[in-house]
Amino acid sequence: MIYLVLALAIISVSLLIALIHYRSQIRKNCHQLEVMQKHSSNQRLTSEVPYKEVKELVRRINEICNRYQEDKIIMERNENNLKEAIANLSHDIRTPLTSLDGYVQLLVMSDSAEEKEHYLQIIQNRISSLKELLEELFTYTKMQDQNYELTIVPMDGRQCICETVLAFYEDFEKRGLTPEVNFCEEDLPIVANEVALRRVIQNLVKNALVHGVSRIGLTLEKTDGKLHFTCFNDKKADEIIDVDQIFERFYKGDKARTSTSTGLGLAIAKGLIERMHGTISADVKDEMFVIDIFLPLKEKG
C-alpha cells in the first residue's frame, strides 16, 4: 500500500512538473510570437522542453514563419518591379502622346493643304507606334500568366521566317543596309504557332534595325535536328550589352536612348519561343550582338 501511494505521488509530481514545463514553454512561445508580430522580427520560436510533440509544433510554426518571410520578400520585390514597370511605361507612352498633341495643334493652325497632309502622315505614324507599344504590353502581360498556352500546329518554319524577313525590305532600304542573308533551301517542318513565330522574328529584326550600325545578318539552317535561326548586328564600340539581362523586361542597353521601344520585344520573344518548346539565347562575339533561336523539327510520320 505504501509503495502504491509512493508511486502515485511520484507520478503526480512528474505530471505536475511536466505541466509546469508545458505552461512555461507555451508562455515563452506566445511572448516570442508577440515580439515577432510587433517588430516584424526574424526571430524564431525555440523549445527548451524535452518533449518531441512540442519540438515538432515549434518546428512547424517556424516553417510557416519562414515561408511567410519568403513570400513577403517576393511581394516587396514584385511591388518594386511593378512601380518600375509603371514608370517605364508611363515614359514610353507619354513620348508619342506628347508628339501627337504637338502635331495635332500644328495641323489645326496650318492653312496649307500640303502641310496638313504632312502633319496627318506624321500623326498616323505616331498612332501606329503607340498601337505597337500597347500591343507589346498586352502580349507581355499574357506571357506572365503561367497557364497561358499557345495553340501549336504543324507548319513550314522556313516559309514563315522567309516571308517575315522579306516584309522588312523597305526598312532595310531606309536604313541603307543590305542584310547578310544565308537561308538553307530545305524545308524545315516544325510544330509551332505561326502568328507567334512571325512576332518573334519581327521583334528580332526590329531590334537589329534599331541597334545595328552598319551590319545586319540573318541565317536559317538545320542544326542537330532543329530549326536554327540566327539574327546578328554590329554594335557601337562603347556599347555595353548585358547578355544575362537582355531578355528581362524593360532592359535597354542604352539607358539614354529615346526610342519609342518599351524594351519588351526580346522578353516577349523569349516567352513565345519557350511556349513553342524552343530555346533562345544571346551573346556578343567579335563586337557582334547575336541571338540564336532553336525550334525542334517535326518528326516524320
Q: What are phi and psi of 290, to 5 degrees?
A: -125, 130
Average pLDDT over residues 13-35: 72
The pLDDT of residue 19 is 65
* Residue 290 predicted with pLDDT over 70: yes
> Whose grid coordinates read 518531441?
52
Dihedral sign computed on CA atoms, order 273, 271, 89, 263? negative
Please check whether residue 215 is in contact with residue 233, taking contact to mean a CB–CB distance below 8 angstroms. yes
DSSP 8-class letter at 231: E
Surface-to-core class of residue 217, CB atoms within 10 Å of its CB (0-12 exposed, 13-18 middle, 19+ buried)? middle
Please check whether residue 258 is in contact with residue 149, taking contact to mean a CB–CB distance below 8 angstroms. no
Whole-angstrom distance, CA of residue 236 vs CA of residue 234: 7
pLDDT in tens, 136-194: 777 877 777 777 788 899 999 999 999 999 999 999 998 888 999 999 999 899 999 99
Whole-angstrom distance, CA of residue 241 vs CA of residue 206: 17
